[in-house]
Structure 1
């Protein structure tokens, strides 16, 4: 071993080891003082990323627990208000029973009516002003929701499944869905006379891009017609109307429908809307009404002559559009495509695309555009529809599969199953593609008996729909209760109102129990995630105190060795003497 003066290797080595032990000591002190194993990304990059995600989830879950507790408080507020309303309704019923007794004079009944009127006003006040944190607990309605079973059934169907099921049906078969677009559900009365328009979609259509300000307007007074408008024998079901109109809404939200209207191609919009649920019975009824057989078929197909003109909205116009959509579907499949779905997805992928381009693309050039397709349908449409007619593919008691009887190879759907059965469903089923609001355009006061949602999870979509409902005087149909003129009618009104309240209170009770389960689940999840985060992030004090002790001893030894190493060069002096 050589002896040197300029480079003290032993000292450098001792200093390096001293620096290492000093860093270890500093890290141990940091971890013990903070209680965290990971104090910076350098300590454990992957562990930090995982623990940060856990922290985000835990904080979100804890907030969700608070949200659920707020939901419980709001529902308890609603339940308490409904309890007082029930007491008032029972008192009104009691007074009506008393007034119905013939031993009472008109003056006696008038005295009873004074209390009835005051109680009815109090029920209305409670329904309108009950609030939680400044938010109205109950929706408001300008029409009775307990007096007309048909309208109540239609409203329940709309909120519990028709809209969302129609949306799912459109996505399943056309491959298109809105992307969070706003849609207003407007319950109103049209001025077109009884038995006319049941529902319609109104939107602001520009020269390019999807439409905006989309509104689905529903004529509640006409929403339960017994038969189709063209005299056919198949019932005209509400859910089918919604499937048709929701197709318009989704197309408005995803395509440049303005260009379609500009080209007078409304037949395509209406034909595809009919296609989603199948309109075989309408087509068959129109064929029979227009002469039957080849004569009726020709009359329907001849409506295609007007496709470049204004849409007249007649039943045969819808039938011709539906037949055209079925023919287009057949020709796309014959060209190796997936049917009319290919047209829809092509248009929805880029709002600048035109119907001409979509048709050419879907048929691999079989049709060069709409004009070419129209000419082809006029030439071959009679044979196509006659083929459906003679083969028995059209039925007046069956809407068929999606797009008619087996038109798209789907399962046969009768008129009552266009939208899946919702008898076993409860509450409201929220649309996934649209952000819908409920309102009435019949007067300035809106119908806000829509949904209230609770964010019960840490991520997007983790929501619980707790619904809402109207409970004011108009909704309960009690404001005209008069025990002087017809006490028995008041008794019947109170029975219906109490049934309505009892059903809603039962629903609230179920939701309260569900929220208890939600909170228990969220708490368990937060606990598990916190434990997982702790195992990654927190300091193990047993390990770190051992590391601290070791580092302290090494520090002392290192300092001593540096001192010893620094004296080594002095040995050279003995050689120089």
Structure 2
């Protein structure tokens, strides 16, 4: 026969109800059905995998939004480029009008040239929020040749070796650059080129400084200097038609003032440049060492040919799966500088030049429009990938919740049941203790009598 005492001992000796209550409290407080591996080992493994997938989807959302912002900035730069080209087209048509005098066309060309500089500035200075260049095409420079800001200390004198090589380059958008070199009575000559091989400042190829470096013809300079590792375009070819050997001259809106070759005699040479509308490569051709003092007001932004970024396409993460890996949406850079649009030497000073400029502008507008369409399509592609990512993420979260999250209704019912049983146990134990005391009291009174 089960007595009250034996029943209470049975309740107090089993941990069943206290364990149930403890587990229910743990799940209700944490909100998780699985708090340790022992709760559900298989479920824990699956939920961890789903958690990894969920975190990846969250990061993919951020990556895709960043990519959309990147494309929007590039498309905005191209839109402004198109507006500038439309105005340039108006000026070219105005210059074609027969009532214009030469003075009128020179006045028109002043605005035309300034718009060219603005067009180049957009190409080389349009940057994303993380200062990544979007439109400029400076991969040869950024990979292989340091800028003057990296080679020289502003206003200080630096000693370097001369030779047949690129010493540094001036980024597009730089202003008031001054370069002074001292070759210590050696024949070291300052030279300035564009990345396409146009010789702007320096000494002609007939000068002795070139022959001593095995350059006797245009094919020699292309073979020995106009190389990708020296910052030149693969299609670069020598053009000395605008070479400034001394004095001042303006080429494509940039004014150069050059002392000229001072050898023999004075061995110092000086050059000033008021502004740069495209990257310019500096060489000091010779066979010795020289001191150079370089100063400037401003240098072009890092995206205008700096060596801080790796050029080339940008890969935006589009999908990610633990089993399939990562897929990317590729955003290529869009070079829209004057050299890329074949408009470096365009002007509207004559009827014929204005006619040529019109064709160049029409070609440039078509290219810019195609580039804008490219970015628009990429934005739509990223928007679609974003929607798909969100739908998959929603399904993952639902599956993870089913496995990992607490069923509050069920756990509340379990905790209530366990609490009732525990309280009943306490009540029974208290009653049993009271009954025992009563029996002992009766026995004690009987024995006293």
After superposition, the C-alpha distances for 1:195-248 in whole angstroms (9 at most, x for unaligned) are: x99xxxx9xxxxxxxxxxxx9x998449xxxxxxxxxxxxxxxxxxxxxxxxxx
Decide which structure has greater helix share. 1
Say if 1:84 and 1:565 are closer, same or farther in 2 by CA, change over 3 A. same
Structure 1 residue 142: deviation in Å?
8.3
Say if 1:28 and 1:564 are closer, same or farther in 2 by CA, change over 3 A. same
- The answer (yes or no) to whether the contact 1:25–1:547 under 8 Å persists in 2 is yes
After superposition, the C-alpha distances for 1:424-469 in whole angstroms (9 at most, x for unaligned) are: xxxxxxxxxxxxxxxxxxx997996520111233454232212222
For 2:70, the equivalent position in structure 1 comes to 74
Decide which structure has greater strand share. 2
- The answer (yes or no) to whether the contact 1:14–1:561 under 8 Å persists in 2 is no
Say if 1:562 and 1:444 are closer, same or farther in 2 by CA, change over 3 A. closer
After superposition, the C-alpha distances for 1:111-167 in whole angstroms (9 at most, x for unaligned) are: 111011000100111111111212222232489xxxxxxxxxxxxxxxxxxxxxxxx
Tell me, what secondary structure is at the counterpart of 1:104? coil
Match of 2:400 among 533, 545, 568: 533
Structure 1 residue 479: deviation in Å?
2.6
For 2:389, the equivalent position in structure 1 comes to 522
For 2:335, the equivalent position in structure 1 comes to 470
Alignment of 1:105-144 (within 5 A): 105-133=101-129, 134-141=131-138
- The answer (yes or no) to whether the contact 1:141–1:446 under 8 Å persists in 2 is no
- The answer (yes or no) to whether the contact 1:67–1:454 under 8 Å persists in 2 is yes
Q: C-alpha separation between the residues in 2 aligned to 1:66 and 1:93?
A: 41
- The answer (yes or no) to whether the contact 1:95–1:112 under 8 Å persists in 2 is yes
- The answer (yes or no) to whether the contact 1:451–1:468 under 8 Å persists in 2 is yes
Q: Are positions 1:455 and 2:317 aligned together?
A: yes
Say if 1:188 and 1:524 are closer, same or farther in 2 by CA, change over 3 A. farther
- The answer (yes or no) to whether the contact 1:453–1:466 under 8 Å persists in 2 is yes
Q: C-alpha separation between the residues in 2 aligned to 1:467 and 1:40?
A: 48
TM-score (norm 1): 0.44
Q: C-alpha separation between the residues in 2 aligned to 1:12 and 1:447?
A: 77
Q: C-alpha separation between the residues in 1 aligned to 2:2 and 2:73?
A: 91
Q: C-alpha separation between the residues in 2 aligned to 1:54 and 1:546?
A: 28
Q: C-alpha separation between the residues in 2 aligned to 1:513 and 1:188?
A: 36
Match of 1:86 among 82, 89, 104: 82
For 1:339, the equivalent position in structure 2 comes to none
Alignment of 1:542-561 (within 5 A): 542-561=409-428
For 2:268, the equivalent position in structure 1 comes to none
Say if 1:505 and 1:118 are closer, same or farther in 2 by CA, change over 3 A. same
Q: Are positions 1:497 and 2:364 aligned together?
A: yes
- The answer (yes or no) to whether the contact 2:319–2:385 under 8 Å persists in 1 is no
Structure 1 residue 481: deviation in Å?
1.4
Alignment of 1:16-415 (within 5 A): 16-17=13-14, 19-133=15-129, 134-141=131-138, 220-221=234-235
For 1:14, the equivalent position in structure 2 comes to 11
Structure 1 residue 34: deviation in Å?
2.6
Structure 1 residue 474: deviation in Å?
2.1
Moved more, 489-498 or 100-109: 100-109
After superposition, the C-alpha distances for 1:34-72 in whole angstroms (9 at most, x for unaligned) are: 322122222222212222222222122112112111211
For 1:366, the equivalent position in structure 2 comes to none
After superposition, the C-alpha distances for 1:172-217 in whole angstroms (9 at most, x for unaligned) are: xxxxxxxxxxxxxxx999x9969x99xxxx9xxxxxxxxxxxx9x9
After superposition, the C-alpha distances for 1:525-549 in whole angstroms (9 at most, x for unaligned) are: 1111111111111111221121112
Long gaps (5+) in structure 2: 141-194, 198-216, 237-304
Q: C-alpha separation between the residues in 1 aligned to 2:95 and 2:232?
A: 40
Q: C-alpha separation between the residues in 1 aligned to 2:309 and 2:25?
A: 64
Say if 1:454 and 1:2 are closer, same or farther in 2 by CA, change over 3 A. closer
For 1:284, the equivalent position in structure 2 comes to none
Say if 1:221 and 1:537 are closer, same or farther in 2 by CA, change over 3 A. same
- The answer (yes or no) to whether the contact 2:17–2:422 under 8 Å persists in 1 is yes
Say if 1:539 and 1:111 are closer, same or farther in 2 by CA, change over 3 A. same
- The answer (yes or no) to whether the contact 2:318–2:385 under 8 Å persists in 1 is yes
Tell me, what secondary structure is at the counterpart of 1:465? strand
For 1:482, the equivalent position in structure 2 comes to 347
Q: C-alpha separation between the residues in 1 aligned to 2:423 and 2:311?
A: 76
Alignment length (residue pairs): 288
Long gaps (5+) in structure 1: 144-186, 203-214, 223-442
- The answer (yes or no) to whether the contact 1:450–1:469 under 8 Å persists in 2 is no
Tell me, what secondary structure is at the counterpart of 1:470? coil
- The answer (yes or no) to whether the contact 1:61–1:456 under 8 Å persists in 2 is no
